[in-house]
Each structure stands twice: as C-alpha cells, then as structure tokens.
C-alpha cells in the first residue's frame, strides 16, 4: 500500500473525506429533576481536523471512550458533528437530510460493524446482496456480484450457508464482503478483530490491507496487530487527536 501525498493527494481529492474542526457533543441527564440545568455536556470529539485518502489503511487508536467510534460514525455519515464540518464530495454532511445521508452511505460507504449485523434467516449470498437490493440492482446481477465478493474474501464455498452455520471469522468475512459489494470509496470497520481468535484476526487484518489498495479503509482498534499493519495511525485521547503518524 502506498501513502497518498502531493500529486497523488490532488488526484484523489474527489474521493477524500475531510473533517474540519469537528466536535461532537452529547447531552445527558445529570441531575434529579431532568431540566436543562441538570444536563451534562459530554464532548466525545473535540476540534478534530483530518483527511482520509484512498490507498491507505488508517487505524484510529486510543483507549475505550477516546472517541474512536464517534469519529467513524461521523466519517461514515452515520452521525453529524455538533461543531465543524465533515465533507464528502465537498458536501457538508450536516446539510443533508437523513434520507440523503442514507443514500450517500449506500453509494459511498461500506461499514463493518463489530457484531456483524448479519440477518440469521438469510444465506451468506443474500446477506451480501442486501445493499444491492436497496440500490435496485437486478436479481441476477445481485447474485453474481455477491458471489464474486464472497469469493474474494475466501468464502466462495460457503455462499449458501446461514450465519448460524459459520464461525465468527467466517461471519466477519461475510460482513466485509457485504460492505464491499457496492464498491464504496470508503470502508470503515469498528474493532473488526475484537471478538476473534488470533489466527482469524490475523486473516481479517490481511484482508483489510488488501482492500485498502484501491480505497480508503479506516479501522477503529486498540489491537496492536492492527496498528502494526496500518499505513497511518491516528491516536485519540479524550476526543482529541494527539498523534497522526505514517
């Protein structure tokens, strides 16, 4: 994998996701009476500015509660900042309606959740094809594209198996295939090795590295193996970027 800078960064600008002075503040009840005076502001992110480029495996590291998942949610347009801007295709995601952000995610973003979120009644092939169904892709094309992605992640012989018939690592691979089936510019993964054994986690790390050859991959993790495999490591502490190294 190559680090993107200089002319490469300019060429990839249209696929770059940017955070400019981004903060995310949550309001939580903190007193006995539940009024505004009793509410607490929890600042999950504080004045974060960065850009995510194609061709890099970027790991967002930090202790639990440092803001890793919050940053991923903002980059993936699952949430919007309280302050600052997240720009995708030069568009501020906060200016979009919820339905417009959903369409943006479907078109531009693949998401691998820590707990997979596979539908238990569907086969691996049908789970992977779901985003294509939402895009209105014809049935035959959905099937062939889902099978191709499963083959690419080493699951070509398990396309007819349901999640309950798959190991944790196999389910994770199906989740990665589903996230990639729409060919997104950005793949985000939240603690993708957190519940996997050492060998399976290692295979997932290798797979993420391969995927990052032609798109942006951003992974929230405190797994030292994931950090060691990264092209770039952004470390968060108490919602702020304390280091950004390649």
Give the predicted TM-score (pTM) of the model.
0.85
Can you give the pLDDT of all 246 residues of the chain as single tens digits? Answer: 444 444 444 444 567 899 999 999 998 765 555 555 556 788 999 999 999 999 999 999 999 899 999 999 999 999 999 999 999 878 899 999 999 999 999 989 999 987 889 999 999 999 999 999 999 999 999 999 999 999 988 899 999 999 999 998 899 899 999 999 999 999 999 988 887 888 888 888 998 999 899 899 999 998 999 999 999 999 999 999 999 998
Look at residues 201, 231, 200 and name the one whose alpha carbon lies nearest to residue 213: 231
Classify each residue of 127-137 as buried b or exposed e, where b means 16 or more C-beta atoms within 10 Å of its C-beta: bbbbbbeeeeb
- What's the rounded Cα separation, in Å, for the pair 160 and 143? 11
Q: Up-side HSE of residue 160: CA atoms within 13 Å toward CB?
A: 1
**What distances in angstroms separate CA 30 from CA 25, 34, 66, 238, one per listed residue?**
15, 7, 21, 20
Q: Is residue 112 classed as helix, strand or coil in its secondary structure? A: strand
Give the whole-angstrom CA distance, residue 161 versus residue 63: 36
Domain boundaries, the chain: 6-28+40-245
What phi, psi does 84 have (nearest 5°)?
Answer: 80, -170
State in words which class domain 6-28+40-245 has.
Answer: alpha beta
What tokens does 175 get? Answer: 């989740």
């Amino acid at each position: 994998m190559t680090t993107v800078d200089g002319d490469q960064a300019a060429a990839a600008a249209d696929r770059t996701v940017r955070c400019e002075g981004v903060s995310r503040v949550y309001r939580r009840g903190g007193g006995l009476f539940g009024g505004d005076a009793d509410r607490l502001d929890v600042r999950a992110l504080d004045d974060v500015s960065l850009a995510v480029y194609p061709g890099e495996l970027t790991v967002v590291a930090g202790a639990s509660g440092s803001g890793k998942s919050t940053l991923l949610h903002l980059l993936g347009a699952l949430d919007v900042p309280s302050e600052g801007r997240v720009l995708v295709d030069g568009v501020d995601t906060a200016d979009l309606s919820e339905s417009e952000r959903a369409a943006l995610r479907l078109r531009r973003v693949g998401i691998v959740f820590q707990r997979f979120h596979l539908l238990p009644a569907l086969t691996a092939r049908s789970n992977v094809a779901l985003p294509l169904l939402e895009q209105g892709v014809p049935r035959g094309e959905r099937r062939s594209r889902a099978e191709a992605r499963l083959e690419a992640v080493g699951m070509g012989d398990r396309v007819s198996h349901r999640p309950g018939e798959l190991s944790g690592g196999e389910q994770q691979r199906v989740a990665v295939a589903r996230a990639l089936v729409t060919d997104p510019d950005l793949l985000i993964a939240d603690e993708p090795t957190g519940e996997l054994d050492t060998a399976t986690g290692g295979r997932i790390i290798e797979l993420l590295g391969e995927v990052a050859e032609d798109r942006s991959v951003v992974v929230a993790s405190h797994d030292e193996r994931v950090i060691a495999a990264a092209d770039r490591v952004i470390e968060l502490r108490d919602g702020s970027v304390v280091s950004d190294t390649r």
